[in-house]
Amino acid sequence: DTGVSQNPRHKITKRGQNVTFRCDPISEHNRLYWYRQTLGQGPEFLTYFQNEAQLEKSRLLSDRFSAERPKGSFSTLEIQRTEQGDSAMYLCASSYPGLANEQFFGPGTRLTVL
């Protein structure tokens, strides 16, 4: 257990539905990252927060995706109008500058879109 928690761990939804995932980082970490991982591939960067500010978004993050970190603590990732291609593991990580920029990953949320 790294101290980063994600909920839910698994989500099955029908195409067209909206889903929201939550990430609780390690409490003193001011940086929070979202990644997506499909089968057989390494994780791909989606977006990054420093405190409550969203500082970078990948081109992978279409307009159906939105992420927030309202008080600089937990974060949510919402996918609207899900598609089968959204099926993946969604990973959250947090870090604190200076600690080797080591990122601590949560266990992920596995999304299956039927």
Partner 1 sequence: DAKTTQPPSMDCAEGRAANLPCNHSTISGNEYVYWYRQIHSQGPQYIIHGLKNNETNEMASLIITEDRKSSTLILPHATLRDTAVYYCIVRVDTGANSKLTFGKGITLSVRP
Residues that bind partner 1 (CB under 8 A): 2, 4, 31, 33, 35, 40-45, 48, 55-56, 91, 93, 95, 97-98, 100-108
CB of 47 to partner 1, least distance (A): 9
How far is the C-alpha of 102 from the C-alpha of 21, rounded, in Å?
23
Given a contact cutoff of 8 angstroms between Cβ atoms, the answer to whether 6 and 21 are in contact is yes
Least distance (Å) from partner 1 to the CB of residue 5?
11
Residue 48 CA to residue 56 CA, distance in Å, equals: 5
- Cβ-based nearer residue to partner 1, 86 or 106: 106
Closest to partner 1 by CB, 56 vs 78, is 56
Task: Report the nearest approach of partner 1 to the CB of residue 97 (Å).
Answer: 5
Strand partners, 86: none
Minimum distance from residue 46 beta carbon to partner 1 (Å): 9
CA dist 35 to 47, 72, 93, 106, Å? Answer: 7, 18, 8, 11
76, amino acid identity? T
Q: Which is nearer to partner 1, 7 or 80 (CB)?
A: 7
CB nearer to partner 1: pick between 21 and 33: 33
Token pair for 27 = 């409490």
